[in-house]
């Protein structure tokens, strides 16, 4: 509840790291808290990345494990003045967040999976920020729990909290060498029991269209209306390959921004697919569409296409013992492990390609990036115990 009171919304517009100074404010708070709860080697670098260590308490030689979560919240919804409250022993009915704003069971049926639990909700004017402050809370509490229970043996554990995950830059400056782990887990998933080691391949596409503004009464054969051409471009993409029409392993094109006048228009897309071949095909399709616009109207459109991250399965599937440990840890915490592909990305994807195998584990929040986000307290507790169990199981199974 304290963590989500910090506004840590990231921004794609600043070009700095962290992308917003308010993320550093939260990082400074966390730094002092980590020192206070007894962690060592607590370091906050100039780019807003926070690292800390819990030393080994076993005589065995055990692989060093890392646990990672991100400090920023999504630019998609306000994170200013978050007002969380707890709905105790949720009874299965609609939840009134504030006047006229209701989280309805009909629209959000996942609520019923948490009947009888205590749900942290918003007041309907902001997101909650469980993505990913739930992950931070679970990791910090797990480190406290391990210190309070020295009978639980574990190797060296590293903690890492980073900025700017929500804008696809969280792992860009993560110091894998300094982190010094054999493998790690991001605590950034959703429903209890989930383990994810497959994610989208991801790219961004920014298109600028330069039109020609002429008085509309005398525009024939002269005007090039950039805003109208932008809508034409959007209509050239497959209508059934959007986030609203896809699920599972199906990829998509997602229009995230559109603005324009007759003189100039700008569009932003994200491109996603689990399959690398289909992913490359989608990028080619976007390029072809821009080429078609230029052939039709002259060279008026420019495309900036950037890869963001790739499917971590390529880097994890030959180290499946990491997944087996997570499954056992989840089972030991009283849940059924659910291995699922992420319809999104995670810092773990980029970290895996930087040499740190890093699957993703549930953090317990649901309906991220909007005012209907909620997080069951019991899910926080289960995720915390999953972290504890991973540390214990690794010591028992991989310690020498």
Residues annotated as catalytic (active site), given as ranges: 72, 165
Between β-strands 65-70 and 157-162, what pairing exists: parallel, antiparallel or unpaired?
parallel
Alpha carbon distance 248, 321 (integer Å):
25
Residues 6+ apart with CB under 8 A from 284: none
Q: Which tokens sit at 331? A: 């089972």
| Residue 298 neighbours by CB distance under 10 Å | 11
- Calculate ∠ Cα 150-152-155, nearest 5°: 95
Put the strands of the sheet holding 374-376 in their side by side order.
Answer: 85-87, 119-121, 374-376
Phi, psi (5° rounding) for residue 89?
Answer: 45, 60
Query: Is residue 341 within 8 Å of residue 274, measured between CB atoms?
Result: yes
Cis peptide before 132 (omega within 30 of 0): yes
């Amino acid at each position: 509840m304290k963590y989500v009171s910090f506004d840590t919304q990231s921004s794609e517009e600043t070009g700095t790291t962290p992308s917003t100074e308010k993320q550093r404010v939260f990082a400074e708070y966390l730094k002092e808290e980590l020192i206070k709860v007894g962690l060592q080697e607590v370091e906050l670098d100039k780019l807003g990345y926070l690292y800390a260590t819990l030393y080994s308490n076993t005589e065995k030689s055990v692989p060093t494990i890392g646990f990672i979560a991100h400090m920023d919240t999504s630019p998609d919804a306000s994170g200013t003045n978050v007002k969380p409250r707890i709905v105790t022993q949720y009874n299965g009915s609609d939840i009134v967040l504030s006047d006229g704003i209701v989280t309805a069971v009909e629209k959000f049926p996942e609520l019923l999976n948490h009947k009888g639990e205590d749900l942290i909700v918003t007041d309907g004017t902001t997101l909650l920020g469980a993505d990913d402050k739930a992950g931070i809370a679970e990791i910090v509490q797990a480190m406290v729990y391990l210190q309070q229970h020295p009978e639980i043996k574990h190797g060296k554990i590293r903690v890492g909290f980073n900025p700017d995950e929500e804008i696809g830059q969280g792992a860009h400056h993560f110091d894998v060498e300094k982190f010094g782990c054999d493998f790690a887990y991001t605590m950034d998933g959703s429903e209890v029991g989930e383990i994810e080691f497959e994610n989208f391949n991801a790219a961004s596409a920014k298109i600028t269209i330069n039109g020609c503004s002429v008085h509309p009464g005398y525009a024939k054969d002269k005007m090039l209306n950039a805003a109208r051409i932008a809508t034409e471009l959007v209509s050239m993409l497959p209508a059934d390959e959007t986030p609203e029409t896809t699920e599972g392993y199906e990829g998509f094109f997602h229009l995230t921004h559109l603005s324009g006048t007759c003189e100039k228009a700008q569009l932003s897309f994200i491109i996603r697919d689990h399959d690398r071949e289909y992913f490359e095909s989608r990028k080619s399709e976007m390029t072809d569409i821009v080429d078609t616009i230029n052939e039709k109207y002259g060279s008026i459109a420019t495309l900036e296409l950037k890869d963001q991250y790739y499917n971590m399965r390529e880097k994890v599937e030959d180290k499946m013992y990491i997944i087996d440990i997570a499954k056992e840890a989840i089972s030991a915490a009283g849940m059924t492990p659910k291995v699922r592909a992420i319809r999104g990305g995670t810092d773990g994807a980029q970290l895996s390609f930087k040499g740190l195998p890093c699957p993703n584990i549930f953090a317990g929040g649901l309906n991220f990036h909007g005012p209907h986000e909620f997080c069951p307290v019991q899910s926080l507790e289960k995720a915390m115990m999953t972290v504890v169990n991973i540390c214990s199981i690794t010591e028992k199974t991989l310690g020498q």
